[in-house]
Amino acid sequence: MPQALLIYCEGKTEEAYFNILLDIFRLPRYVKVEVSGQRGQHLALIDNAVKERSRFCEAEGLDTEEAECWAVCDDDGMTCSYTELERYSEERDVHLAFARPQFESFLLQHFEQSGETDICEIFHRLTVHRNENGGAGAYDDSTKADLAWLANAINSKPKIVKTAITNSGLRGRTTKSPFLTVQSLAERFIELQI
C-alpha cells in the first residue's frame, strides 16, 4: 500500500476528473493524494512528475518508493511514439495513464462504449451527456474543464466509473495501437478506497 498517490496531469480537464474521483472514492487517510494539472506534455510531464515526486517525498519524509506516481496525458500534439513514452515512464518508475486521441475519449466511455476518434463527434456526444446530467450548453474547449455535470452523473450513479473502465478495456483490445490506458488509474482509485 503506497503512503502517497501522486497524479500529475497534462491539463485542467484531467485534473478536474481525478479530483472528482478523489472526492467520491474515499482513500485511506494515511494515503496522501496530490493531483496537479498542467505539468507539461508527454516526456516533459514525466520529467516534471519525477521532480515533483522527489520534492513531495522530501517534504513528507518519505522514500520515493512509498509514493506511487502517475502521469496522465493524451495523444494530442505528441512528438514521440507511444512506445517511447511508455518506456520513458517505466524507466523513471512513473505509471502512465494515456488517452488517444484526447482525454475526452475516456470521459465518453462513462456513458457509451465508443471507438470514436473524431474529436468533433466526441465533443458532440459529450455535449448530449453534459446536458442530460445537469450541465448546460456545449462541451467544447472553453467548457471542458468544468466537469460539475460529470461529478453529478458519478455521484448519482457511481457505477459509471466501472462502466468507463470496462468500456475502455473492451475498446483497447480491439485496436492495434494503444487507445486508452487511463482506466488503470481509475481502477487504482477503486482498489485503494476504504
Q: Give residue-wise pLDDT tens across range 13-32.
A: 998 999 899 888 877 766 67
Give per-residue pLDDT as tens, 153-187.
999 999 999 999 999 988 766 665 667 889 999 99
Spatial distance between the Cα atoms of 177 and 83, rounded to a whole number of angstroms: 10
Spatial distance between the Cα atoms of 73 and 106, rounded to a whole number of angstroms: 11
The answer to whether the predicted template modeling score (pTM) of the entire model surpasses 0.75 is yes
Q: What Å distances lie between residue 158 and 47, 103, 111, 150, 164, CA to CA? A: 33, 19, 12, 11, 11
Q: Are 171 and 109 in contact (CB under 8 A)?
A: yes
- The domain spans of the chain are 4-192
Q: At residue 156, what is the residue type? A: S
